[in-house]
Amino acid sequence: MDFTPLIMFAVTFVVLLMGYPVATTLGGVALLFALVGTLTGAFDWSDLGFTPGRLFGIVTNQTLVAVPLFVFMGVVLEKTKIAERLLTNLSSLLRYQRGGLAITVILVGMLMAASTGIVGATVVTMGLMSLPVMLKQQYQPAFATGVISATGTLGQIIPPSIALVLLGDVLSNAYQRAQLDMGVFAPKSVSVGDLFAGAILPGLCLVGLYLIYTLAKAFVQPGSMPAPTTKNEHNTQPALGATLSALFPPLFLIVAVLGSILGGWATPTEAAAVGASGALLLALKDQQLSRKILREVSDQTLSTTAMVFFILLGASVFSLVFRGYGGEELVHALFADMPGGTWGALAIVMLVIFLLGFILDFIEITFVVVPIVGPVLLAMGVDPIWLGIMIAVNLQTSFLTPPFGFALFYLRGVTTPDIPTTAMYRGVMPFIAIQLLMLGALVAWPSLATWLPAQLYG
C-alpha cells in the first residue's frame, strides 16, 4: 500500500504549522509532490491537465457567488451599529431580570450569527459591545467571557452561515462522486438549502440550551450575575417601542433571506443578493451608511472573498494530486479495515476534524479534509445532510475548546489584561459540555438534522 498521499497531507500540515499561507501551501506542496512523482514515475503529470477545468468550474460556480454577498450583508450590519443598537435596547427591556444581560447577549449573538455567519466577526463585535457592560454590572468574568465566546461560535451552525454555504457545495460534489463510484449514474444531490434546513433545529436547540444554562446558573449562583439593586439605576419604563423598532428590521431581513431559500422561492445566491441589498437599505434608513463605512465594508468583503477563493484554488490542486497518487482508494481501504465499521470511521474523522479545528479555519478544513473523507463516508451509507451538520457542530466545539480555540483567541484580543486566560477557559467549559451534548443528541437522533429537510423537500 502506497502511503504517499498521507505523507503529502502530513507535509502540508507541518508547513502550515511553520506559518506559511494556507492557499500557497496547499498548491505548492501539491505541485512539489507532483514534480517529484513525475521524475520517479510514481505520478502521471498529465493528471494536472484537469486543473484548468477545475479552476474554471470554481470561478463559475453559481452557489459560491453567495459567499461575497453574505459576507457583505454581515459586514454592513456589523459596521453600521445595527447589532449594537439591538443589544442596547434588548438589555434595557430585560434590565430587572437576573441574568437579563446574558440572555440579551445570547439572543443578539444568535441574530448576529445568522447575519454575519463568521465566527471571528461575531465574537469580536459581541466582546467589544457587551463585555464592558457585563463587567460593569459585576458579572463573573469567567461566565461573561464564556457566554460571549460560545454565542460567537453559533455562526458556524445557524443559517445563513458562510460555513454551511461552503460545506454544502463541497458535500454536493462528494455525494455525487460517491454515488458514481457505487454505479449510480443518475445521482441525487444535496444543496445548500438542504443544509440550511438541517441546521435550524440543532441551532435553535443550542440557543435553547444556552438560555436554560444561563437561567439555571442565575438561580443557583446569583452572585455570578447580579441584578440591579434599584430601579433608579435606569429608566423606570422598558423601552418596548425602541426595542421592537431595533429588533424588527434585522429580524425581518434574516427571515426573508432564510425563508426564501427554505420555501424554494430563491436560490442561496439570489437570497444572498436580497440580504445584501436589504442590509444596505437598513443602513440608509438609519442614516448610518457613510462613504467611509461603505469603503470599509467593500474592502473587508473583497479581502474575505479573495481569501476564500484563493484557498479553494489551492485546495483544488491539492485534491487533484492527492487523487492522482491514489489517495481516495487509500482512505477507503483504511476506513474499510477500521474496527467499528462506519461508526468507527466516522468517529476517527470527527476526531481528526476536531483536532484540525485548533489550527485551521473552517474554510481550509472544508476544502481540504471534507473532499478527501466525504466521498468515502457517503459511500458507506452516511446521510450527507446529517454529516454536514455533524461537521459544523464539531468544528463549532473545536473553535471553543482551550487552549487553541479560535473563539478564545478572538476574544482575548479585545479583553482587558486583568481578565486571566484561565478564567476564560473556565467560562467556556459548560458551553463545551452543551455542544458535546448536542453532538451526542445528533448521533442518537439523526432526525434532528434530517427531519426538516425531508418535510420541506421530500
Domain residue limits, the chain: 64-317+325-457
Residue with cell 427591556: 93
Sign for the pseudo-dihedral over CA of 182, 188, 194, 198: negative
Q: How does residue 234 score in pLDDT terms, banded at 50, 70 and 90?
A: very low
Please give the single-letter amino acid code of residue 326. Answer: G
Kindly tell me if the per-residue pLDDT of 454 is higher than 50.
yes
Kindly tell me if the per-residue pLDDT of 232 is higher than 60.
no
Q: How does residue 281 score in pLDDT terms, banded at 50, 70 and 90?
A: confident
As separate numbers, helices (DSSP H) first and strands (DSSP E) second, the chain gives 21, 0
CB atoms within 10 A of CB 87: 25
Residue with cell 460560545: 150
Q: ω into residue 403 within 30 of 0, thus cis?
A: yes
DSSP 369-401: THHHHHHHHHHTT--HHHHHHHHHHHHHHHTTS
pLDDT at 212: 94
Rounded distance between C-alpha atoms, residue 272 and residue 159, angstroms: 12
322 contact partners, CB below 8 Å, separation of at least 6: 5, 8, 9, 30, 328, 372
230 contact partners, CB below 8 Å, separation of at least 6: none
Contact yes or no for 109/250 (Cβ under 8 A): no
Q: How does residue 121 score in pLDDT terms, banded at 50, 70 and 90?
A: low
Among 171, 194, 200, which Cα is nearest to 382's?
171
Q: ω into residue 160 within 30 of 0, thus cis?
A: yes
pLDDT, one tens digit per residue, over 363-404 is: 778 888 888 888 888 888 889 999 999 999 998 898 888 877
* ∠ Cα 117 247 226 (to 5°): 90
CA atoms within 13 A on the CB side of 312: 20
